[in-house]
């Protein structure tokens, strides 16, 4: 009888084994007003600590700038958030409910985090329109993609985005023929097509002319509010024009955080970054 | 209707399909309808030879789908071709019945020779054509799926992937050489008699196989065109150009690769299955890495990433090979080498790239 009792759970008719449960990531929960938690994150490459006990919180709808000298760990931090690099320790949560360390790149992208790379990475052989179409939010599994047809509201959204990024006049040019600045915008446009909640933008102003930079500023400030935006940038002028809150990274951890004025007067920051 | 839409922007593809349809009608007609010696007569030898080229064309299309559109340089597609061929060969072996040299009604000749008493378990079912047809599709698909599952999941790309595809086909080559495997060892499977009750030696059967090959090539081409023209096709070329970016857009790159790679392997298997009854033999040298590299050369000569270029490349290179071996038995390899060098220098994007280049130039002049 006793042995039968130990077997009893196996006959439980409503038992659903762990491995049979569909792996649906929980939906984004922003009830505390914080969209991204990075806590005690450390990662090292061959003994070099790229990130060292990093703590960072991004509020919902915030536009945050992150600055820091080369090697401060800015790009590594983005790699961790988007699932490209796994930290050695620490935790990373997207809202209250989504554990980023358990997901891989496509899952994180589908959960609502979009990333723009430092070097503009668009699909050069595809047209501007196709670049946006590929980024379009929707079912990205194999067979639905094979059968996908653009619905009219999707077509409209592509049109709107084209206007927003200033490429409305050349939707059918190959992306490879665009100027450097236009590629940057196209990539930001691709992020928008994904309808992300959190945008990570790595050096959007790199290699841009002054006018292009102004347009980019406008674009990014428009995005904040509806989306949360994290911008990593080197160009201090650019940051001065968009920044509300600035975080300074140094040697893999947060050195200072505050408004641009506070940061500029912070003694530690002046020593390591602004060059005194 | 949908195939018309499919080809709307694909003039060379349309031309190719029209030519294929014309060949599928005229070649058997000229072979069967006119007596030997008549001006319009096409010899059975020529018809079978072209039929063989059409199978190579389908094989080249399957390689172009993964190489030209997905960026996977497979140096092992010959393995899928050979597996499809072996599945068909096993059916043809079973059709021999007791007409073999040893006259054993139960076992193929090579098994009698090896003193085997029973048919191995994996030979059961091959008496039925539909089962063999199913295996022609399933066996290459299963291998491609298992191989791709591990390779794409662990993100093996570029030259490393090419090397392991090469290792895969080489491993199969060694395995199929062994007599104990039960596939006829180094002699392979041959001495076929008939297919679906039609004698393989007759002209009518050969004409039927020719039409089947042309149809398979046309359908395979249309399927590939459907994939490359869909959004999935655009995702594939995006993976070819910028794989990490596609991941950050939320696509599961490994699943997409697995789907297209497996589909391509099925096409290669079908090509192999049509090839075997026309040449009358399948043996392990079909698994040779050299064969797989040759397919890649056809695609490169034809111009990759166009599909019809792959067909053109397969036809041109194989015709050149047949012609040169007959005309210059001692120097044919030099001729073939010269062809590759000339194409690389003067047509770096292959025959199809050169044609579109010419077409554009003429448009500009006008």
Q: Is B234 on the interface with A (CB under 8 A)?
A: yes
Q: Are the beta carbons of B252 and A110 separated by less than 8 Å?
A: no
Query: What band does A275 get if pLDDT is binned at 50, 70 and 90?
Result: low
Question: Which residue do the tokens 């340089």 mark?
Answer: B73
Q: Are the beta carbons of A140 and B250 separated by less than 8 Å?
A: yes
Domain that holds residue A85: 34-274
* Domain contains A114: yes
> For residue A50, what is the domain's CATH number?
3.40.50.300
User: Chain A closest CA to B355's CA: distance in Å?
Assistant: 20
**How far is Cα B224 from Cα B70, in angstroms, rounded to an integer?**
12
Q: Is B248 on the interface with A (CB under 8 A)?
A: yes
* Domain contains A40: yes
Residues in chain A within 8 Å Cβ distance of B230: 145-148
Q: What percent of chain B has pLDDT over 70?
A: 96
Asked if residue A225 has pLDDT above 90, the reply is no
Residues in chain A within 8 Å Cβ distance of B237: 123, 125-126
Q: Are the beta carbons of A194 and B249 separated by less than 8 Å?
A: yes
**Chain B, nearest residue to A136 by Cα:** B249
Determine the average pLDDT of the residues in A181-190: 91
* Domain contains A204: yes
Nearest by CB to residue B232, choosing from A126, A130, A142, is A142
A234 vs B50 pLDDT, higher one: B50
Asked if residue A5 has pLDDT above 80, the reply is no
Determine the average pLDDT of the residues in A21-31: 72
Residues in chain B within 8 Å Cβ distance of A117: 245
Residues in chain B within 8 Å Cβ distance of A82: 248
Contact indicator for A51, A42 with CB cutoff of 8 Å:
yes
User: Chain B closest CA to A109's CA: distance in Å?
Assistant: 5
pTM attached to this predicted model: 0.91
| Domain total in chain A | 1
Testing the interface with A: which of B148, B226, B250, B262 to mutate, by most A Cβ within 10 A?
A: B250
Give pLDDT, residue A152. Answer: 92
Asked if residue B1 has pLDDT above 50, the reply is no
Query: What band does A58 get if pLDDT is binned at 50, 70 and 90?
Result: very high
Asked if residue B196 has pLDDT above 90, the reply is yes
Determine the average pLDDT of the residues in A40-65: 90
> What secondary structure letter does DSSP report for B327?
H
Give pLDDT, residue B151. Answer: 96
Domain that holds residue B246: 2-365
In order, the DSSP letters of B167-182 are HHHHHHHHHHH-GGGS
B230 vs A13 pLDDT, higher one: B230
**How far is Cα B342 from Cα A128, in angstroms, rounded to an integer?**
36
Task: Name which of A113, A115, A41, A108 is nearest A73 in CA terms.
Answer: A41
Inter-helix orientation angle B77-96/B158-177, to 10°: 20
Write the pLDDT tens digit of every residue in B134-150: 999 999 999 999 999 99
Tell me the C-alpha to C-alpha distance, in Å, between residue A246 and each of A53, A197, A230, A254, A258.
19, 20, 10, 11, 6
| Domain total in chain B | 1
Pairing of strands A113-116, A198-202: parallel
**How far is Cα A15 from Cα B93, in angstroms, rounded to an integer?**
51
Asked if residue B9 has pLDDT above 80, the reply is no
Q: Is B201 on the interface with A (CB under 8 A)?
A: no
3-class DSSP string for B53-75: HHHHHHHHHHHHHHHHCCCCCCC
Question: Which residue do the tokens 């022609």 mark?
Answer: B136
**Chain B, nearest residue to A150 by Cα:** B231
Most confident of A134-143, A221-230, A239-248, B169-178: B169-178
């Amino acid at each position: 009888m006793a042995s039968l009792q130990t077997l009893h759970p196996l006959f439980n008719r409503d038992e659903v084994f762990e491995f049979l449960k569909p792996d649906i990531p929980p939906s984004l929960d922003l009830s505390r007003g914080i969209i991204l938690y990075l806590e005690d994150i450390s990662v090292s490459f061959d003994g070099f600590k790229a990130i060292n006990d990093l703590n960072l919180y991004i509020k919902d709808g915030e536009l945050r700038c992150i600055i820091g000298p080369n090697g401060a760990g800015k790009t590594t931090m983005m790699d961790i958030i988007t699932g490209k690099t796994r930290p050695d320790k620490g935790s990373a949560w997207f809202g209250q409910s989504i554990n980023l360390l358990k997901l891989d790149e496509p899952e994180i992208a589908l959960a609502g985090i979009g990333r723009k790379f430092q070097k503009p990475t668009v699909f050069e052989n595809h047209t501007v329109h196709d670049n946006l179409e590929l980024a379009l939010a929707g079912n990205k599994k194999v067979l639905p993609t094979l059968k996908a047809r653009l619905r009219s509201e999707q077509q409209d959204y592509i049109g709107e985005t084209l206007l927003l990024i200033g490429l409305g006049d050349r939707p059918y040019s190959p992306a490879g023929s665009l100027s450097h600045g236009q590629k940057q915008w196209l990539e930001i446009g691709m992020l928008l097509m994904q309808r992300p909640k959190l945008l990570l933008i790595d050096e959007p102003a790199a290699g841009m002319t002054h006018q292009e930079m102004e347009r980019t500023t406008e674009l990014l400030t428009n995005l904040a509010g509806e989306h949360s935006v994290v911008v990593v940038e080197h160009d201090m002028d650019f940051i001065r024009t968009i920044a509300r809150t600035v975080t300074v990274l140094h040697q893999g951890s947060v050195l200072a955080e505050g408004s641009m004025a506070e940061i500029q007067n912070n003694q530690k920051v002046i020593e390591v970054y602004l060059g005194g | 209707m949908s195939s018309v839409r499919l080809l709307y922007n694909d003039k060379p593809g349309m031309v190719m399909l029209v030519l294929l349809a014309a060949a599928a009608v005229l070649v058997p007609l000229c072979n069967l309808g006119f007596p030997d010696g008549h001006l319009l007569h096409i010899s059975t030898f020529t018809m079978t030879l072209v039929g063989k080229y059409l199978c190579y064309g389908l094989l080249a299309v399957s390689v172009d789908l993964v190489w030209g559109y997905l960026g996977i340089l497979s140096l092992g597609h010959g393995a899928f071709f050979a597996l499809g061929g072996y599945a068909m060969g096993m059916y043809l072996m079973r059709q021999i019945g007791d007409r073999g040299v040893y006259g054993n009604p139960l076992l193929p000749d090579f098994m009698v020779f090896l003193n085997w008493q029973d048919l191995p378990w994996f030979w059961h079912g091959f008496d039925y054509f539909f089962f063999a047809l199913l295996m022609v599709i399933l066996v290459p698909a299963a291998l491609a799926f298992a191989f791709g599952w591990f390779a794409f999941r662990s993100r093996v790309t570029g030259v490393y992937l090419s090397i392991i595809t090469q290792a895969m086909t080489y491993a199969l080559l060694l395995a199929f050489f062994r007599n104990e495997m039960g596939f006829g060892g180094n002699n392979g499977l041959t001495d076929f008699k008939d297919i679906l009750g039609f004698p393989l030696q007759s002209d009518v059967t050969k004409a039927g196989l020719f039409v089947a090959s042309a149809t398979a090539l046309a359908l395979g081409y249309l399927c590939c065109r459907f994939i490359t023209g869909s959004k999935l096709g655009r995702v594939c070329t995006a993976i070819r150009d910028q794989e990490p970016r596609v991941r950050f857009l939320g696509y599961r790159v490994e699943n997409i690769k697995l789907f297209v790679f497996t589909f391509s392997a099925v096409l290669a298997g079908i090509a192999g299955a049509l090839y075997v009854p026309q040449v009358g033999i399948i043996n392990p040298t079909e698994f040779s890495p050299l064969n797989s590299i040759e397919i890649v050369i056809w695609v490169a000569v034809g111009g990759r990433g166009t599909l019809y270029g792959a067909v053109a490349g397969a036809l041109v290179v194989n015709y050149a090979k047949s012609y040169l071996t007959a005309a210059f038995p001692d120097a044919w390899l030099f001729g073939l080498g010269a062809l590759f060098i000339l194409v690389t220098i003067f047509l770096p994007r292959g025959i199809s790239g050169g044609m579109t280049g010419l077409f554009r130039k003429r448009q500009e002049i006008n």
